[in-house]
Structure 1
């Protein structure tokens, strides 16, 4: 028996069998699976990045997996699951790091990755189905002389997953998070027996962003574009972290605004694959800069005592630099030093102005720093001892004036009251991603940065 944790009503095997039969009739046998290997793959995401969550795995196992190939089929799947009373956990590529795609109540995992059509590229907007990857959107936009406002550090993430579970990324220095003006419209699916695509625009679309599909599943999205820019990958290195830190604000203030700027201690350079732009033993700074700002960026680096290692063209360079931003430095550190590091998402001027105190919060502390919408943000890594030690550091961060977000939990923590109010009407039976929308505010001071 599988228990729906939102309603504490058991889901009978007969209901699961009936849903499986209906899904096979609607989607075809190749779009439905009850094989254990497929269910296990669909029941994990990137939450192993958190040792706190890893200690609690497995957190759930799907009873069956459906892979609809269009937005309309997503609605069909939801309607069938609701009619049979089966919990529904939506899923994109599974690159989220917080457990939000884990089916804690079992039931159905709705994998959206086959619904990947780029529907339309217009003047200033692009429309795509939930399973389209962010890199596919970027490539489609570029063919029309445009670019998307932002994409996550894992550019192979889906647009549905990014809007449902992500927050910011490459492009966020200028545009902030994806809960701002990024989304123009959504087609969402509510958990009702007659589920269909519900079109919402502007302010009405925002409550569906970053709620893990707990109030409605994003099936299609229209997001904003801007004119295409000529980007350069910019690599610099320094003797000291303080030299690199001194450039975080000046780089973010360059005009045209950079798409990304990030810096790390030599520990990261030593953990990365060999790259002449990131020499071992040196503090590394990487940026995705408009070509018009490269000369000024070079002047800033040299004035701070650093040296420019390389300037490269091409979209692949931008993707490479993105894959060394946000949470990715922690992944590289964990690969190089297994079972060692954890991280906390942090923000605020203290990351630049009080770096020694910030590093001292956790044993082995080291900051990966970036800029987002005019403020320093980053990932503070430390040597993992226990969940209690991680949480004990939150009070120290607050005392330093550092905002933080706890990445070691799976609860909706962006506008949870608003999400709960919406879900009361859009998911009356509590079937959408059970276990993720709970009472009580998680430990956070609003520094969600990835």
Structure 2
């Protein structure tokens, strides 16, 4: 990094907005990639040359212009709750921390416009105070930022009803391009696919318009089952039961519940559990459905205590993996999409093949309006070769694996959209300065 480069930043940023201390820049250059022992080894020494904390979009435009002139890589940081090394600089450069860009700009019926640094938890609280709520949000919502969720996430709490981010849950994005004179683009419709879950490789997300829905009074429950198949069939039936509003349906095979230490007094020995969020009025119908599949409601958090103190969504999605890691550092995870017509058979085949190396954890959701048994299974890590063997076996029996042990966008399940993302990147980032290295494939390679 040249002295003139730093001097140019100092000409319009305050001293506390520029961080170059190597120890601190390395700390700020990390996200939760350590969920993966493979990424932990690959990324642990990577860091930015400088972290900058802009106060407004005008400052980001100036940072972009300087980076473009000096051919410096630029990346973006929210709260660093991602798991794939999305924010980790592979080639040094500038890491832009968005924490001061944290305004809720406008709330309207059915939508909310925000800056990228807004914390999802604060946004959800504000919306509920105004009679609305987010359609979907990550299990890390208390820390996660809006920009980080859109740039590095996909689905979460609410996806059982509303699908993924690209299923209409992002209405519009304002994008800043990486050019000599950065342009501001308004993106909507199908073009959003080039920016959602693209790791900031196609532009800076300056504003987001999320879809919202009417506020619902949610209760949270744990339902316990003797039989894993019963817990899965119950979850499937609940996913299809339109008379019960749902925000979350998460199925965990025993012994995963033993990792949930704060819930220990509500966990029964040897029982598989389903963790749910449903509308308050449906509790009696839910009770009947649970009994039909030999399940027992063993814990309930009433709607009046929703998101106050203990919250069951903290044990779903990739939070489940975090509890396992806290309990046993040898555990890691995969991301998978099972076949709705074969998932019971697929689960049995995995059990026969891998025994206690592979524990089932499903977070049921809708994709393109269809119910999908989406899974974040826990696996016992020994070697990369054994992990690859698990992936190959799953794919051989019809399970789609989205590899969480790579920082490459095209290798983590985004291959269907990568050519369109690359074309967009070519227009918006002609010097390939935005998060370089996170896309290795080239457009010509795809075409050829």
Same fold (TM over 0.5): yes
Rounded to whole Å, the distance in 2 between the matches of 1:199 and 1:300 is: 46
Residue 59 of structure 1: CA displacement?
5.0
Q: How does 1:52-67 map to 2 (within 5 A)?
A: 52-67=38-53
Residue 84 of structure 1: CA displacement?
2.0
How many residues get paired? 426
Q: How does 1:14-413 map to 2 (within 5 A)?
A: 14=2, 17-155=3-141, 156-254=143-241, 255-275=243-263, 276-312=265-301, 313=303, 314-316=305-307, 320-338=311-329, 340-348=330-338, 349=340, 350-362=342-354, 364-373=357-366, 374-413=371-410
List 4+ stretches of structure 1 deviating above 6 A: none
Say if 2:26 and 2:46, in contact at 8 Å, map to a contact too.
no
- Partner of 2:84, secondary structure, is coil
Residue 219 of structure 1: CA displacement?
1.6
Task: Tell me the alpha carbon deviations over residues 311-368 of structure 1, each in whole angstroms, 9 at most, x when there is no partner.
Answer: 2123316982222111121111111112x11211111224334322123454521111
- Partner of 1:259, secondary structure, is strand
- Partner of 1:210, secondary structure, is coil
Task: Tell me the alpha carbon deviations over residues 176-207 of structure 1, each in whole angstroms, 9 at most, x when there is no partner.
Answer: 11122111111111111222433223333332
> Which of 426, 435, 450 is the matching residue for 2:428?
426
Question: CA 1:243–1:372 in structure 2 vs 1: closer, same or farther (change >3 Å)?
Answer: same
Task: Tell me the alpha carbon deviations over residues 24-64 of structure 1, each in whole angstroms, 9 at most, x when there is no partner.
Answer: 32221111110123201221110100111122232521110
Rounded to whole Å, the distance in 2 between the matches of 1:185 and 1:19 is: 34
Question: CA 1:161–1:319 in structure 2 vs 1: closer, same or farther (change >3 Å)?
Answer: farther
Say if 1:59 and 1:104, in contact at 8 Å, map to a contact too.
no
Gaps of 5+ in 2: 444-448
Match of 2:446 in 1: none
Question: CA 1:157–1:40 in structure 2 vs 1: closer, same or farther (change >3 Å)?
Answer: same
Residue 440 of structure 1: CA displacement?
7.1
Match of 1:445 in 2: none
Rounded to whole Å, the distance in 1 between the matches of 2:310 and 2:87 is: 24
Match of 1:416 in 2: 418
Residue 77 of structure 1: CA displacement?
2.2
Say if 2:54 and 2:98, in contact at 8 Å, map to a contact too.
yes
Could you say what the CA RMSD is over the residues aligned between the two structures, in angstroms?
1.9
Say if 1:234 and 1:287, in contact at 8 Å, map to a contact too.
yes
- TM-score, structure 1 normalization: 0.90
Gaps of 5+ in 1: 1-12, 442-450
Q: Which has the higher helix share?
A: 2
Say if 2:38 and 2:384, in contact at 8 Å, map to a contact too.
yes
